[in-house]
Amino acid sequence: MREWIDMRVGDLLFMRQLPAGVGVSLYSEADREMHRELEGDAYREDDEPRRLYYPKDSPVWDQVREAICALRGTDHEPVYNAWYVRRYTQRELISAELLRLLIPRDFEPAGEECGTVYDESASCPRCGAGRIQKSDLHVRLRRVFQESPSIPQAKRTGIARTIADEIIVSRTAADLMRQARITGVKLLPVRGCGSDADITPLWQQFAVVGSAGRMMSPTVFGVDPFDLDEEGEFRCPMGHVSGLNLLSEVYIDRNEWDGSDAAATADLVGRRVGLLVPTPVTLISQRFYQLLKENNVKGFKAEVAHLV
Ligand SMILES: [Zn+2]
């Protein structure tokens, strides 16, 4: 596995603290022309928003970390987005017993906006975890990527999720799972947007019921690679939410995993804000991974997870 950090910076004060020439500009030539016209002689190419993309152990990140500390020391909270990118060899992926299922692209609106009913009466007052779905899932189907009949079956999305992490799978993918007797998942009806919308034959909800126990050390949570939330602002004191973001690979206690092909962690990641909810991490068995891979199901990525 190789690991990088991907960072976007548009904060002038922050960029001026970074080593000269680090990263690449996010501006096209046309953007640059427009800003030159607007700003005239005051325009500096060094001030353009930048992308920094370097291996996790690059010395650049030590300098970035120092710049962040220096700015926080002057009461300026630097503005940036940063996340880890992990790449695996095929051998690493096919030899892992357990993998983390990622669905990189999400779609709107959330099920809640389309008529899905949730009972939040027993949700945690601190982190908002624990809502219970009380109706079929309703989603705006035309917003789901590539479900149009004009797109060949082989190129259609097989697995997708809303911004609230409601996961749906195509009928083809659902049939594969049934035939292979994939355990730990319930395939439920999906309806279109609107409380009186009909059940669609094209999609099913992918509801994970297998259990993987809590994520354990050395799993790392935090806001981003440069802010590990040491104060615990985003951790639920009742233990439901472990952090705003999952920053590392996942580690699971082998005795806690129920052996299902699809399993959710007991602790969650994220926050209750607007339509977003904290959600568990989904883990899949090697058998399930092979099934998705061999049948060319589109819309997912996998990372190695560790059973210890
Ligand atoms: Zn809680």
216 and 248 Cβ atoms separated by less than 8 Å:
no
What pLDDT, on a 0 to 100 scale, did the predictor assign at position 264?
A: 98
Tell me the sheet residues that pair with 159.
169
Q: How far is the CA of 268 from the centre of ligand 1 (A)?
A: 9
Q: How far is the CA of 115 from the centre of ligand 1 (A)?
A: 25
Distance CA 74, CA 67 (A): 11
Q: How far is the CA of 295 from the centre of ligand 1 (A)?
A: 38
The predicted-structure confidence for 10-61, as pLDDT tens digits, reads as follows: 998 998 888 888 999 999 999 999 989 998 888 888 888 999 999 999 999 9
Q: How far is the CA of 120 from the centre of ligand 1 (A)?
A: 13
Mean pLDDT of 52-80: 94
Q: How far is the CA of 232 from the centre of ligand 1 (A)?
A: 13
- Residue 50, phi then psi, degrees to nearest 5: -130, 155
The predicted-structure confidence for 219-235, as pLDDT tens digits, reads as follows: 999 999 999 999 999 99
Residue 154 has pLDDT above 90, yes or no: no
240 and 186 Cβ atoms separated by less than 8 Å:
no
Give me the residue spans of the domains in the chain. 2-87, 97-307
Residue 208 has pLDDT above 80, yes or no: yes
68: tokens are 């962040």
Q: How far is the CA of 243 from the centre of ligand 1 (A)?
A: 11
Q: How far is the CA of 269 from the centre of ligand 1 (A)?
A: 11
Whole-prediction pTM value?
0.91
Q: How far is the CA of 133 from the centre of ligand 1 (A)?
A: 18
Distance CA 147, CA 157 (A): 7
The amino acid that residue 226 corresponds to is F
Q: Which of 70-74, 89-93, 148-152, 302-306 has the lowest mean pLDDT?
A: 148-152
Mean pLDDT of 65-78: 92
Mean pLDDT of 250-273: 97
With bands split at pLDDT 50, 70 and 90, how would you rate the model's confidence at 152? low
Distance CA 233, CA 128 (A): 14
How far, CA to CA in Å, does 130 sit from each of 232, 234, 241, 270? 20, 16, 11, 13
Distance CA 305, CA 257 (A): 12
With bands split at pLDDT 50, 70 and 90, how would you rate the model's confidence at 156? confident
44 Cβ contact partners less than 8 Å away, ≥ 6 residues apart: none
- Our CA dihedral for 126, 217, 221, 206, rounded to 10 degrees, sits at -80
190: tokens are 């999906």
How far, CA to CA in Å, does 254 sit from each of 84, 206, 215, 286, 306? 25, 24, 11, 15, 9
Distance CA 196, CA 89 (A): 46
Residue 145 has pLDDT above 60, yes or no: no
Q: How far is the CA of 89 from the centre of ligand 1 (A)?
A: 37
| DSSP annotation of 95 | T
- Our CA dihedral for 109, 112, 113, 116, rounded to 10 degrees, sits at 110
Q: How far is the CA of 201 from the centre of ligand 1 (A)?
A: 36
40 and 126 Cβ atoms separated by less than 8 Å:
no
What pLDDT, on a 0 to 100 scale, did the predictor assign at position 105?
A: 82
| Max Cα distance, the chain (Å) | 67
What pLDDT, on a 0 to 100 scale, did the predictor assign at position 148?
A: 57
Mean pLDDT of 272-279: 94
Q: Quick one: how many helices (H) and strands (E) in the chain?
A: 6, 21
Percent of the chain whose pLDDT exceeds 70? 96
72 Cβ contact partners less than 8 Å away, ≥ 6 residues apart: 78
What pLDDT, on a 0 to 100 scale, did the predictor assign at position 124?
A: 97
With bands split at pLDDT 50, 70 and 90, how would you rate the model's confidence at 153? low
What pLDDT, on a 0 to 100 scale, did the predictor assign at position 157?
A: 85
Q: How far is the CA of 294 from the centre of ligand 1 (A)?
A: 39
Q: N- to C-terminal Cα distance for the chain?
A: 18
Chain-wide mean pLDDT for the chain?
A: 93
- Residue 136, phi then psi, degrees to nearest 5: -60, 155
The predicted-structure confidence for 172-199, as pLDDT tens digits, reads as follows: 999 999 999 999 999 999 999 999 999 9
232 and 121 Cβ atoms separated by less than 8 Å:
no
